[in-house]
Amino acid sequence: CGANVYMADFEDATTPSWDNLIEGQANLSDAVRRNIAFDDPETGRHYTLNDKTAVLFVRPRGWHLPEKHVLVDGEPMSGALFDFGLFFFHNAKELVARGTGPYFYLPKIESHLEARLWNDVFLDAQASLGLPKGTVRATVLIETIMAAFEMDEILWELRDHSAGLNCGRWDYIYSFIKKFAEDPDCVMPDRGQVAMTTHFLRSYSLLLIKTCHHREIHAMGGMAAQIPIRDDPAANEAAMEKVRADKEREAGDGHDGTWVAHPGLVAIAKEIFDREMPQPNQIARKRQDVHVTAADLLVVPRGTITEAGLRQDLNVGIGYIEAWLRGTGCVPLYQLMEDAATAEISRAQVWQWIRHGARLEDGRTIGAGLAGAILDEELAKLREAAGDEAYCAGRYEDAANLFRELIEAPTFPEFLTLPAYEIITAGVG
């Protein structure tokens, strides 16, 4: 038995090139009408939909991203409205006729006012097609530190359309770094040391469950980024054990469901949630024992900064951006499925470490010089791993130059995808 829900992602797991966006919309239209099929030229395998399919959710881009290929009054339109509008216009009535509906995941929300804007969009879109209010259902990703303080208000704004809240863990870590980037007391340790069991992340997760269940809606757990490791049974078992521990924590805390990045993890997640949650959800668990304060949400995790951690941030950051610039927004790197959120963490950490002269555990100060030298070394490793032909055909130099600009910028750049988008759309508009 497969997953209950499939999320088609136009956001962090997609490079928003014109071809990707239009092909993605065409594929969704075909999938809604059950006309989609795929023949893999490498394996010869033929893929079609099962008789019973997962419920489709769509994640449009966040409010900050433009769509340069469509101009409104001479200005690029909102990427979020482009993604939502195309899908809703072409598929909403068909979905309703088939007994389901237009369902969405809303990313990067920072306040109840942004949720209100989405609600206004839903009301107008439904009216334009003659669909009743409440046809649209949306789950909001709580993946910014600001939104964590406004969960009740966000749910109120979307009260006629809300399907629940979700712990967007990777972007949440990035948002924390971004919001407090200038504060020397908020310097994060190695990315690998910032787990969901750290105080500020566990507090936010429990608060989300309590808030949702008080409002009688679903509280969804976070994404497990691990992927199966086919050629190393021991490493694979260690990775799968991390997934089990993560999902057992979520189910035990009271989450009503969870996400995985790879279909190979579905069985593990389902087995745990089916065992711990035999009923459809855990909304009856109100978690009145949870008492999370503002201070709990702002506890900075303590740990060490290692050369290995710095190298990982630089290597993963360049590797991900290189693939993104080539048109691939979801990239398996070192046994994890990376998307824009994890790349954002990588470059944000390095910027913060340079900004505040953070020290490695061996005592060396992280400055632009040290980071730049290690960046060059990691770029050389990527070239060796890829081979000269693939390296030269790829976007490694562009990715390294962009990453260097981001970590050496005098002020913290809001999103890496904004300058990256300018690169892939150079000459458009």
Q: How many CB atoms lie within 10 A of CB 239?
A: 19
> Which of 9, 12, 59, 326 is an active site residue?
59
Distance set, CA 77 to CA 9, 20, 124, 334, 419 (Å): 19, 17, 17, 36, 17
Euclidean distance between CA atoms 425 and 429, whole angstroms: 8
First-residue to last-residue Cα distance in the chain: 46
Helices (H) and strands (E) in the chain — how many of each? 16, 13
Q: Is 383 an active-site residue?
A: no
Q: What phi, psi does 104 have (nearest 5°)?
A: -135, 155
Which one, of 408, 255, 225, lies nearest residue 320 by Cα?
A: 225
Residue with tokens 């009743």: 132
Please tell me whether residue 52 adopts helix, strand or coil conformation.
coil
**Phi/psi of residue 167, each to 5°?**
-80, 100
Tell me which of 12, 253, 313, 339 is the catalytic residue. Answer: 339
Annotated catalytic residue 59 = yes
Rounded distance between C-alpha atoms, residue 228 and residue 34, angstroms: 29
Position 427, amino acid: G
Q: Nearest Cα to 224, choosing from 254, 261, 270?
A: 261
Are 219 and 213 in contact by the 8 Å Cβ rule? The answer is: yes
Name the residue with tokens 């993890």.
265
Task: Classify residue 145 as left (phi > 0), alpha (psi -120 to 50) or beta.
Answer: alpha
CA dist 257 and 202 (Å) reads 16
The residues assigned a catalytic role are 59, 339
